[in-house]
Amino acid sequence: MADAETKSIDKASIRMIEKAASDGVNTVFDRAEATKPCPIGMVGSCCKNCGMGPCRVPLPKGKTETPEEKQKRRGLCGATAETIAARNFIRMVAGGAAAHSDHGRRVAELFLAVAKREAPGYEIKDEQKLLQLALDWGIEIGDRSNNEIAIDIGEMALAEFGKQEGEVLFLRRAPLKRQELWRQQGVAPRGIDREIVEIMHRTHMGVDQDYQNLLRQGVRASLADGWGGSMIATELQDILFGTPAPVLGRINLGVLKQDEVNLIIHGHEPLLSEMIVVVAQEPQMLELAKSKGANGINLAGICCTANEILMRHGIPLAGNMLQQELALVTGAVDAMVVDVQCIMQSLPDIAQCYHTKIITTSPKAKIPGAIHMEFDEHNAIESARTIVRTAIENFPNRGNSIDIPDEQSDLVAGFSHETINYLLGGIFRASYRPLNDNIINGRIRGVAGVVGCNNPRVKHDDAHLTMVKELIKNDVLVLQTGCSAMACAKAGLMTPEAAAKYAGEGLASVCEAVGIPPVLHLGSCVDNSRILMAVTAMVKDGGLGDDISDLPAAGAAPEWMSEKAISIGQYFVGSGVFTVFGVNWPTLGSDEVTKLLFQDFEAMYGGMWAFEPDPIKAAHLMIEHIDKKRKALGIDKARERVLYDMTMRRELEAV
């Protein structure tokens, strides 16, 4: 077991990595040492799409290739390195878009069941958002009941997935110029499922062999994710469970409690966890817990389910993706209930070393060794009760090897794009005007979305934190989701006090005046659609150009690992945002494909990809891009004044 401090910057995680070693438990950190990534697959140069292969077409090491040699570097079917890299890349987009969108579909199914009163226990919580969506989609409101309207919305939302012609409805929310660009480029998506299926078809042996054409379809499917599946998930969840508003929360393994039943909710879909939150407060459950010797029931989350219930209920976060096994290593988790995505198959094995019960709940995601308790939304409360009861009954079985780290930090979460609107503009004149004004006058240099996963190939949380600190120090307001948000929350960046401590003078002055942290938590990974809405609102408010690509804005996923991250990055780029990824880059095996993504896309979509594993350098790529956009908008001079003019400084202090 190598030094735990080289694995993570998070003290609680380091301590649990050490405990795992002394308990003889194998974790992802050990597996990352034992299994090195395949250097050919890592750069997209291995094709295993048919039985003639897998074919490996790596770039020759250390020498320049002659055109003749390059001609010969092909798979058995004749596919070039370009075709193979592009195929692999867009299959990642398809995987990610499918995951987000199938989540969206589940929400739409539940939404329709709730509207038809077939899912007792759920109700429509945000009427205003329901009516807004009805207006957006041209659904008659009149004197119809919320449920009648919701039935139409639910049916239309479900139809979005299988729509054969036309465009995904939410595209109409984008700035007009962006919509036109999508149509010109031929990437305005039809039904979400159709675009994903088309990727699987085109990347089958012997179909699309033009890397440019392949990558175009990647953009199209990713837009069906961001402006389709993910946005449907976010919108309908908000209507059903409530639109997030600022809420105080706590994060890290220290939220687990010695004297209470600890039930961890892990995964992505908040349908069941919403009910668990309700059930865990029922008097009969609390009594049952007492009868087993526990002082209460403590819920905590891991991964994006955690973000969902934090945003809406302030339920504490136990940690991000790389902490799922470490939570079990505390020995204090009585049950961990999982649904879909980012769940490690090692959990039941690790649980065996302690007493934890791992409960799977989705018919789509079973794990050998776990207990399967299928979640039935028509009987959600009973499903939730069975799970909570299982956790309580397991409390007396805790062993002796219990060690809960002390670390936990406060954070303020709940920044939906609507909330940012209210906070900055006030309830009576809610708007993005103050944000735009502060960007124009240079106090805020620009906006960055820093999102995505953890990856054990790099030091846990380090790149997120280093990048975000560098950005806010340079007056860039940071919007976050997913595991990246959790990394920064653990380090205390999501409290209003963080502004004075870490942000540059201009950004700090705005945060202090409004009372917000310099790093805003917008939710789970499907909630990256909130970032699309926030940047669209900035464009529509005026003064910063007429398209998303005109904004002084950038995106990043410094520790990405999942296909979902690639899909998100691609829809950011396709929506006009410069986006930098760390760790490794899956098309480096083809110079042409990489050049198209990193350079040529800028002329086509206004946004492009970059790869930079050093988080400080990556932050500066983002800042340079932001400054380039400020210059193009003619607002670069204002910022120079902010930096150098004493009168401006005094004025800032008076804010």
What is the nearest approach in angstroms of ligand NFS to the Cβ of residue 425? 30
Near ligand NFS by CB under 6 A: residue from 231, 300, 329, 453: 453
Which lies closer to ligand NFS via its Cβ, residue 152 or residue 462?
Answer: 462
What is the nearest approach in angstroms of ligand NFS to the Cβ of residue 321? 4
> What's the token pair of residue 148?
């009648």
Q: Is 303 in the site for ligand NFS (CB under 6 A)?
A: yes
- Dist CA 88 CA 587 (whole Å): 8
Answer for the pair 404, 258: CB distance below 8 angstroms, yes or no.
yes
Near ligand NFS by CB under 6 A: residue from 254, 348, 482, 555: 482
What is the nearest approach in angstroms of ligand NFS to the Cβ of residue 383? 22
Q: Is 555 in the site for ligand NFS (CB under 6 A)?
A: no
Region of 126 please: left (phi>0), alpha (psi -120 to 50) or beta: beta
Count the residues of the shown chain that bind ligand NFS, applying the rule CB under 6 A. 14
Which lies closer to ligand NFS via its Cβ, residue 83 or residue 562?
Answer: 562
- Dist CA 532 CA 536 (whole Å): 6
Which lies closer to ligand NFS via its Cβ, residue 130 or residue 453?
Answer: 453
Neighbours of 583 (CB within 10 A): 22
What is the nearest approach in angstroms of ligand NFS to the Cβ of residue 308? 10
- Strand order through the sheet with 578-581: 519-521, 476-480, 446-450, 553-557, 578-581, 609-611
Positive or negative torsion for Cα 195, 198, 200, 202: negative
Instruction: Indicate the DSSP class of residue 111.
Output: H
Residue with tokens 């880059």: 585
Show the binding pattern over residues 247-286: x = contacts ligand NFS (CB under 6 A), - = does not: ---------------------x------------------
Which lies closer to ligand NFS via its Cβ, residue 419 or residue 524?
Answer: 524
Answer for the pair 652, 506: CB distance below 8 angstroms, yes or no.
yes
Buried b (16+ CB within 10 A) or exposed e, 351-383: bebbbbbbbbbbeebebeebeebebebeebeeb
What is the nearest approach in angstroms of ligand NFS to the Cβ of residue 27? 16
Bridging pattern class, strands 519-521 and 476-480: parallel
Positive or negative torsion for Cα 307, 313, 314, 316: negative
Which lies closer to ligand NFS via its Cβ, residue 49 or residue 528?
Answer: 528
What is the nearest approach in angstroms of ligand NFS to the Cβ of residue 525? 3
Residue 54: asked if its preceding bond is cis (omega within 30°), the reply is yes
Instruction: Indicate the DSSP class of residue 623.
Output: H
What is the nearest approach in angstroms of ligand NFS to the Cβ of residue 454? 6
What is the nearest approach in angstroms of ligand NFS to the Cβ of residue 553? 20
- Dist CA 520 CA 541 (whole Å): 20
Near ligand NFS by CB under 6 A: residue from 84, 263, 304, 604: 304
What is the nearest approach in angstroms of ligand NFS to the Cβ of residue 481? 7
What is the nearest approach in angstroms of ligand NFS to the Cβ of residue 576? 22
Using CB under 6 A as the binding rule, the residues of this chain from 331 to 350 that contact ligand NFS are 342
What is the nearest approach in angstroms of ligand NFS to the Cβ of residue 118? 28
Which lies closer to ligand NFS via its Cβ, residue 562 or residue 590?
Answer: 562
Show the binding pattern over residues 484-523: x = contacts ligand NFS (CB under 6 A), - = does not: ----------------------------------------
Which lies closer to ligand NFS via its Cβ, residue 57 or residue 265?
Answer: 265
Q: How many CA atoms lie within 13 A of 221 on its CB side?
A: 33
Which lies closer to ligand NFS via its Cβ, residue 436 or residue 579?
Answer: 579
Beta bridge partners of 476: 446
Using CB under 6 A as the binding rule, the residues of this chain from 557 to 616 that contact ligand NFS are 562, 564-565
| Of 10, 192, 6, 215, residue with least CA distance to 101 | 192
- Dist CA 330 CA 215 (whole Å): 45
- Dist CA 353 CA 93 (whole Å): 37
Which lies closer to ligand NFS via its Cβ, residue 321 or residue 412?
Answer: 321
Which lies closer to ligand NFS via its Cβ, residue 263 or residue 565?
Answer: 565
Using CB under 6 A as the binding rule, the residues of this chain from 523 to 542 that contact ligand NFS are 524-525
Which lies closer to ligand NFS via its Cβ, residue 307 or residue 509?
Answer: 307
How far does Cα 463 stand from its chain's mean position? 16
How far does Cα 647 stand from its chain's mean position? 41
Give the SS3 label for residue 581: strand
> What's the token pair of residue 367?
């794990």
What is the nearest approach in angstroms of ligand NFS to the Cβ of residue 320? 6
Which lies closer to ligand NFS via its Cβ, residue 351 or residue 453?
Answer: 453
By CB under 6 A, name the binding residues for ligand NFS.
Answer: 268, 303-304, 321, 342, 452-453, 482-483, 524-525, 562, 564-565
